[in-house]
Chain A
Amino acid sequence: MIFRIAIRNLLHKPLYTALCWLLLACSTSVLLVLWALNRQARQQLEQQIDGIDLVLGAKGSPLQLILSSVYHLDNPTGNIPLSEASRFMQHPLVESAVPISLGDSYHGFRIIGTTTAYLDKYNAKPAEGKVFSKSMEVVAGVEAARKAGLKVGSRFAGTHGLGKTGHVHEGEEYIVTGILPATGLAIDQLLLTPLQSVWDIHAPHHDPDDHDHGHAEGENHDHDHDHEDAKGHDHDKADGHDHDHAEGEAHDHADAKGHDHDEAKGHDHDHAEEAAEKADPAHDPQQQVTAVLIKFRSPMGQLQFPRMINEYTNMQAAVPAIEINRLQALLGTGAKVLRALGWLLAGLAACSIFVTLVQGTHERRYELALIRTMGGSRGKLLALVFAEAFLLGVLGVVTGIALSRVALLFLQQELFAGYHLNFSGAMPLTAADGITAAAIVGACMLAALLPAVRAFRLNIAKTLANA
Chain B
Amino acid sequence: MTDMMIQTNALAYTYPGGRVIRFPDLACRAGETLLITGPSGSGKTTLLHLLAGLIRPNEGSVQVAGTALGNLGTRKMDAFRGKHIGIIFQRSHFIDSLSVSDNLTLPLQLTGAPVDRSRLETVAGDLRIGHLLDKLPARLSQGEQQRASIARAVLQSPEVILADEPTASLDDHNCESVARLLSEQAARHNAALLIVTHDNRLTSLYPQHIQLT
Binding site for B on A (CB under 8 A): 1, 4-5, 8-9, 11-12, 364, 366-367, 369-380, 460-461, 464-465, 467
From A364, A372, A465, give the contact of B78 (CB < 8 A): A372
From B91, B97, B110, give the contact of A380 (CB < 8 A): B110
CB of B81, distance to nearest CB on chain A (Å): 6
From B79, B89, B102, give the contact of A467 (CB < 8 A): B89
* Closest Cβ neighbor of A2 among chain B residues: B110
CB of B200, distance to nearest CB on chain A (Å): 22
Which residues of A lie under 8 Å from residue B89 when comparing CB positions? 464, 467
Q: Is the interface of A mostly helix, strand, loop or mixed?
A: helix
Which residues of B lie under 8 Å from residue A371 when comparing CB positions? 95, 106, 110
From B82, B93, B107, B109, give the contact of A367 (CB < 8 A): B93
B78–A370 CB distance below 8 A: no
From A1, A9, A366, A380, give the contact of B93 (CB < 8 A): A366
From B45, B49, B78, B96, give the contact of A12 (CB < 8 A): B96
Q: How many angstroms from the CA of A439 to the CA of B147 in the assembled complex? A: 47
Measured as residues with beta carbon below 8 angstroms from the partner, the interface class of chain B is 20 to 34
**Extra contacts besides A374-B107, A460-B54 (5): CB < 8 Å:** A4-B102, A373-B87, A374-B106, A374-B110, A467-B93
Which residues of A lie under 8 Å from residue B152 when comparing CB positions? 374
A1–B109 CB distance below 8 A: yes
B94 part of interface (Cβ distance < 8 Å): yes
* Closest Cβ neighbor of B74 among chain A residues: A378
CB of B56, distance to nearest CB on chain A (Å): 10
- Chosen A-B contacts, 29 in total, with CB atoms closer than 8 Å, are A5-B95, A5-B97, A8-B95, A8-B97, A8-B98, A9-B97, A12-B96, A12-B97, A364-B96, A370-B93, A370-B94, A370-B95, A372-B78, A373-B87, A374-B81, A374-B152, A375-B111, A376-B82, A376-B110, A377-B75, A377-B78, A378-B74, A380-B110, A460-B54, A461-B54, A464-B49, A464-B54, A464-B89, A467-B89
From B55, B81, B90, B94, give the contact of A373 (CB < 8 A): B81
Which residues of B lie under 8 Å from residue A461 when comparing CB positions? 49, 54-55
* Closest Cβ neighbor of A375 among chain B residues: B82
Q: How many angstroms from the CA of A8 to the CA of B90 in the assembled complex? A: 25
Which residues of A lie under 8 Å from residue B45 when comparing CB positions? 465
A11–B97 CB distance below 8 A: yes
Q: How many angstroms from the CA of A379 to the CA of B90 in the assembled complex? A: 27
CB of B109, distance to nearest CB on chain A (Å): 4
Q: How many angstroms from the CA of A367 to the CA of B93 in the assembled complex? A: 7
Q: How many angstroms from the CA of A5 to the CA of B111 in the assembled complex? A: 15
Which residues of B lie under 8 Å from residue A12 when comparing CB positions? 96-97
A375–B54 CB distance below 8 A: no
B79–A375 CB distance below 8 A: yes
B198 part of interface (Cβ distance < 8 Å): no
CB of A247, distance to nearest CB on chain B (Å): 67
Q: How many angstroms from the CA of A380 to the CA of B107 in the assembled complex? A: 13
Given A8-B97, A467-B93: A373 and B109 within 8 A (CB)? no
* Closest Cβ neighbor of A369 among chain B residues: B93
B52 part of interface (Cβ distance < 8 Å): yes
* Closest Cβ neighbor of A363 among chain B residues: B96
B29 part of interface (Cβ distance < 8 Å): no
A1–B97 CB distance below 8 A: no
CB of A268, distance to nearest CB on chain B (Å): 92
B97–A373 CB distance below 8 A: no
B96–A367 CB distance below 8 A: yes
Q: How many angstroms from the CA of A25 to the CA of B133 in the assembled complex? A: 36
* Closest Cβ neighbor of B90 among chain A residues: A467
Q: How many angstroms from the CA of A461 to the CA of B51 in the assembled complex? A: 12
Which among B83, B97, B98 has the highest number of chain A CB atoms within 10 Å? B97
CB of B11, distance to nearest CB on chain A (Å): 15
- 8 Å CB contacts to A: which residues of B90-133? 90-91, 93-98, 102, 106-107, 109-111
CB of B114, distance to nearest CB on chain A (Å): 13
* Closest Cβ neighbor of B54 among chain A residues: A461
Which residues of B lie under 8 Å from residue A9 when comparing CB positions? 95, 97
Q: How many angstroms from the CA of A364 to the CA of B137 in the assembled complex? A: 14
Q: How many angstroms from the CA of A467 to the CA of B45 in the assembled complex? A: 12
Which residues of B lie under 8 Å from residue A380 when comparing CB positions? 110
A373–B52 CB distance below 8 A: yes
CB of A137, distance to nearest CB on chain B (Å): 73
Question: Lowest 5 CB-CB distances: which A-B pairs, in order?
Answer: A375-B82, A12-B97, A8-B97, A374-B107, A375-B111
CB of B186, distance to nearest CB on chain A (Å): 18
- 8 Å CB contacts to A: which residues of B160-212? none
